[in-house]
């Protein structure tokens, strides 16, 4: 299912509608079909490996992926893996949640279809952090292209009103530390068209409209070193 999720959400091969209709370059529009494979190769010749967790009759399990060891944030989060695991707050894993689950607003139930769909999209998103990090850097990846803070909270859709403590030295330091992309605001989930696989949104997303953005797929192709003949 992990590979199926990557193939589905990182391909841009739709022929109808407004979602995932190829990528545009100087020579025209190209269909992109991704076929993920298991490999014995290691980074930088493959994506970093990541644990897969089965979770049921429990708190909803989190997923996360700070990426491989090339960046400051990634190296730093490795230090806290052991600490955060004590609080059931994993940093690097993809969790398959199914059955009865406890959410912030109480218990709910995910049947197999719901669990499978969530897992495939989550897999594509979490492994996508490796791709964003490789061509865009730690901040671009970890802040979800500017749609979240480094704390992983979704940004508001307009800059928050300045408080008195924001004008203090500690407040200014914290504000800068948690947001290295202050020029980008949060977004509401688009009601039509594409919903970016790698962004955080306010509101719910729809599986059949979620797809890796055109620029991110171009970034993936750029990483491969493929040359398109003119």
In a domain, 80, yes or no: yes
- Chunk the chain into consecutive blocks of 10 residues (it has 230) and report each block's average pLDDT, rounded to whole numbers: 97 89 93 94 82 97 77 47 42 95 97 98 97 96 97 95 90 94 97 97 96 98 81
In a domain? residue 188? yes
Domain with 72, as residue range(s), is 2-224
Q: How many domains does one find in the chain?
A: 1
Asked whether residue 229 is assigned to any structural domain, the reply reads no
Residue 185 belongs to some domain of the structure: yes
What pTM did the predictor assign? 0.88
In a domain, 40, yes or no: yes
The reply to whether 86 falls in a domain is yes
Answer whether residue 56 is part of any domain: yes
What local confidence, expressed as pLDDT, does residue 230 receive? 63
- Rounded to a whole number of angstroms, the distance between the first and last alpha carbons of the chain is 37
Give the per-residue pLDDT at 91: 76
Q: How far is CA 193 from CA 105, 156, 190, 213, in A?
A: 30, 21, 7, 11
pLDDT of residue 16: 76
Q: Given its phi and psi angles, is residue 109 left (phi above 0), alpha (psi -120 to 50 degrees) or beta?
A: beta
User: Is residue 230 domain-resident?
Assistant: no
Q: What is the pLDDT of residue 86?
A: 37
Q: Which residues pair with 100 in a beta bridge?
A: 109
Q: What is the pLDDT of residue 184?
A: 97
Residue 7 CB contacts under 8 Å (≥ 6 apart), including other chains: 33, 34, 35, 36
pLDDT (0 to 100) of residue 68: 58
């Amino acid at each position: 299912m992990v590979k199926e999720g990557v193939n589905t959400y990182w391909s841009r091969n739709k022929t109808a509608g407004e979602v995932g209709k190829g990528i545009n370059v100087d020579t025209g529009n190209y269909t992109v079909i991704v076929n993920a494979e298991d490999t014995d190769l290691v980074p930088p010749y493959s994506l970093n490996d990541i644990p897969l967790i089965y979770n049921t009759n429990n708190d909803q399990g989190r997923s996360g992926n700070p990426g491989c060891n090339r960046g400051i944030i990634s190296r730093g989060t490795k230090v806290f893996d052991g600490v955060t695991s004590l609080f059931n707050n994993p940093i690097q894993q993809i969790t398959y949640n199914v059955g009865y689950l406890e959410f912030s607003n109480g218990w709910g139930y995910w049947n197999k279809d719901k669990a499978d769909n969530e897992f495939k999209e989550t897999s594509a998103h979490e492994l996508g952090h490796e791709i964003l990090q490789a061509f865009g850097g730690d901040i671009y990846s970890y802040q979800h292209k500017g749609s979240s803070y480094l704390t992983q909270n979704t940004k508001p859709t307009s800059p928050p009103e300045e408080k008195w403590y924001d004008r203090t030295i500690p407040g200014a330091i914290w504000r800068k530390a948690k947001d290295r992309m202050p020029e980008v605001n949060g977004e509401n989930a688009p009601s039509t068209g594409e919903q970016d696989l790698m962004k955080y949104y306010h509101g719910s997303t729809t599986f059949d409209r979620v797809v890796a953005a055109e620029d991110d797929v171009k970034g993936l192709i750029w990483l491969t070193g493929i040359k398109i003949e003119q």
